[in-house]
Structure 1
């Protein structure tokens, strides 16, 4: 590998790979089976081009904005499922758990007349309690997660029916809750958040290079760092430019422009959980337990606590998804969190690059995979295709993603790049 070596004022020698060597190393990892989100991103681009050519309104600012609210519930549930899947576990109850949490919020808002700042935290706490119970049964009683969460899937469906009085629909009118999935930020604030996000990312990347160099650790080439910053800036600023365009059919009566409120909410949780998994001891423990449970136990890692915690995070994120689902629909009913929500959420995590075998995955996988699911559902809807065609096509995409994961694992094992 081609590198350069420099010496700091303190006499510390710092090895600096060149851009060429960094790219060669990255390509070597890809060839060795470490594909990450590459297949999902490539698929997302291809799907967008196909649907954009078939229906020009697919690339409209209005449709682009709609994708955020359409995918929100799936993306948030998938974010939580990434933690569960990293341990090689599964949570089949996440969909209806989100529905139960959404129902709790709706009932507190309507039947009990409570304010949103009471109802929303109550829904989140409900998710945390659900996750703790599931994780406790899996970790302490040794019951397979498939069995525990399948039982919970049925149980939560019944609880949701009981909460809603056998199947009635509860409409909500709280303005704050309704705005979460249905309203947009002001144009000025949209640009302000976009610029702060890009500048913040740039400062974090540059500070990471500086701090690693100061400790004599290998750093990424500055060219690679600048390329990352530029790539993020292009994506964020172009998206903001599109979303701040006028999207209303009749702007004189009702102007609609600005970044959907749900977009920065997704970004905040993406940054939070990415930091937790990538920069904390807890995150390293999650990967360790997912990679080799027995080795992690012998290393002194509290395996049971890690198992319980991932289910807590999973159900907590499901509660956020349920809140946004109720916000988007302006109501809650027995099907909230049901239907294909769970399958789409698991599919989003796997399609994005999270392994079903544990030990491999990132939170960004859920966002990318959720985008793929949303694009398929949205694009095929614009083309007027029936639901059956959507399910078949989504199933094929999921099968391809699982096949890629299996191939990548075999490739990694063959090359010793586990």
Structure 2
């Protein structure tokens, strides 16, 4: 029998709790998320969404072609394969953030590997000392180039093009007539890519620590922005974001543990990326880097140390190139005259751009290199598994890079229309 009172609307608060029903609350949350997504898309604030969608499409495609693509073995190998070039791409991110380009990173990576191999193998220098000297060689090369760019105001790609030739010649001179130096397969550098933490607790522990740190940093950032009256995420948004990252981290840990465990190379890579991300986002130096990417003339008029920042950025790029070169040498336990050549430079730049770092400067993070490198290496790995010709790999990677550049250009135009660029 129908009463005279009207039934409450589905979204009305319940009498006992004073809150909307659970279904209505979920619908409101989804509507709010869609509204935020639309606002960001219209304003050109795409973030990492495009590259995540591309990565998902690549994985789904190759998994449908070969069921072993997402196997624990292949994913573990993939996680190690991205490290060497990925570290170089992280350095490229710093250079792109100030609106410049470093073409010498491939040659610097080969030079550092040659310095280490010759000192350690040919001259008996202890591995730890040869390692430090090799990394410092990359830092010195980047510093010299950065200072030259800052003082002469010649575009970085011109200065580093000269560096590409110079450092490649220096590498060939150091290696000498033998051309190839084999590393100790049981040595320190070889262990960088061959060592795994086989206990399950290692991978799960890293996932738990990473998730906890993300939540704490996000929560503190939210409270700081609230105190300053700035736009901020809701607490529910922080929890949702952390839960998503936790699901990704623990799934990755589970898959790695099903093969050989957590690779040491991957752990080092993630620690370096996270540390440099903090440098960019949380330090005065990082804010200066983004400021230079916005407008170098405005930075000069604001009395920023443009010379120091440009020099430091190229020094970071050179350092990361040297470290990446050592990881690449570790993967094959040898250094030859072909070190640092081939597609290494193009892949490093492509990884940074595909991952979301703007070619116009001022937008991007170190995590861009991780995402971009995942896309490039996933395509390469999928091509090998499915016996696809290398020519097709080049075309697909080139297409993805072209799409990333177009998206970057469109995003910048949208930001200019909204007065944000």
Inter-partner Cα distance in structure 1 for 2:214 and 2:75: 24
- CA deviations 1:61-83 (Å, max 9, x no partner) are 11001112221122111100011
Inter-partner Cα distance in structure 1 for 2:61 and 2:368: 22
Q: Counterpart of 1:36?
A: 47
Structure 1 segment 185-334 matched on structure 2, within 5 A: 185-187=197-199, 188-213=201-226, 218-245=231-258, 247=259, 257-334=260-337
Instruction: Mark the runs of 5 or more structure 2 residues left unpaired by the alignment.
Output: 1-27
Inter-partner Cα distance in structure 1 for 2:208 and 2:125: 36
- Post-superposition offset of 1:211: 4.4
Inter-partner Cα distance in structure 2 for 1:390 and 1:336: 21
- Post-superposition offset of 1:414: 2.2
- CA deviations 1:123-156 (Å, max 9, x no partner) are 1111110110110111112222121111111112
Check if 1:402 corresponds to 2:414. no
8 Å contact from structure 1 (residues 86, 360) kept in 2: yes
Inter-partner Cα distance in structure 1 for 2:319 and 2:230: 37
- Post-superposition offset of 1:22: 7.0
- CA deviations 1:171-199 (Å, max 9, x no partner) are 11143211111221132322222222222
- Post-superposition offset of 1:114: 2.4
Inter-partner Cα distance in structure 2 for 1:295 and 1:147: 23
Inter-partner Cα distance in structure 2 for 1:258 and 1:22: 36
8 Å contact from structure 2 (residues 43, 411) kept in 1: yes
Inter-partner Cα distance in structure 1 for 2:176 and 2:242: 52
3-state DSSP of counterpart to 1:263 = helix
Q: Counterpart of 2:18?
A: none
- Post-superposition offset of 1:216: 5.6
Residue of structure 2 aligned with 1:347, choices 343, 346, 350: 350
Inter-partner Cα distance in structure 2 for 1:124 and 1:135: 17
Structure 1 segment 73-88 matched on structure 2, within 5 A: 73-88=84-99
8 Å contact from structure 2 (residues 85, 328) kept in 1: no
8 Å contact from structure 1 (residues 106, 170) kept in 2: yes
Inter-partner Cα distance in structure 2 for 1:201 and 1:49: 28
- Post-superposition offset of 1:163: 1.2
Residue of structure 2 aligned with 1:159, choices 170, 182, 196: 170
Inter-partner Cα distance in structure 2 for 1:293 and 1:354: 18
3-state DSSP of counterpart to 1:43 = helix
Inter-partner Cα distance in structure 2 for 1:203 and 1:143: 43
Inter-partner Cα distance in structure 1 for 2:364 and 2:225: 24
Inter-partner Cα distance in structure 1 for 2:225 and 2:206: 28
8 Å contact from structure 1 (residues 167, 334) kept in 2: no
Inter-partner Cα distance in structure 2 for 1:23 and 1:299: 39
- Post-superposition offset of 1:241: 0.3
- Post-superposition offset of 1:26: 4.6
Residue of structure 2 aligned with 1:134, choices 139, 142, 145: 145
- CA deviations 1:233-254 (Å, max 9, x no partner) are 1111000000001x3xxxxxxx
Q: Counterpart of 1:253?
A: none
- CA deviations 1:363-418 (Å, max 9, x no partner) are 11111001001001111111112222211221111111111111111222223332
Check if 1:384 corresponds to 2:387. yes
Residue of structure 1 aligned with 2:193, choices 154, 178, 181: 181
Structure 1 segment 3-18 matched on structure 2, within 5 A: none
Inter-partner Cα distance in structure 2 for 1:306 and 1:121: 24
Question: How many residues are treated as equivalent by the alignment?
Answer: 391
8 Å contact from structure 2 (residues 383, 393) kept in 1: yes
Q: 1:144/1:167 Cα in 2 relative to 1: closer, same or farther (>3 Å)?
A: farther
Inter-partner Cα distance in structure 2 for 1:52 and 1:74: 24
Inter-partner Cα distance in structure 2 for 1:290 and 1:205: 25
Q: TM-score by structure 2 length?
A: 0.89
Inter-partner Cα distance in structure 2 for 1:151 and 1:104: 20
8 Å contact from structure 1 (residues 70, 374) kept in 2: yes
Q: 1:417/1:207 Cα in 2 relative to 1: closer, same or farther (>3 Å)?
A: closer
Q: Counterpart of 2:113?
A: 102
Inter-partner Cα distance in structure 2 for 1:342 and 1:119: 24
Q: 1:111/1:132 Cα in 2 relative to 1: closer, same or farther (>3 Å)?
A: same
3-state DSSP of counterpart to 2:262 = coil
Inter-partner Cα distance in structure 2 for 1:301 and 1:204: 28
Computing the radius of gyration from Cα coordinates, the structure with the larger value is 2
3-state DSSP of counterpart to 1:56 = coil
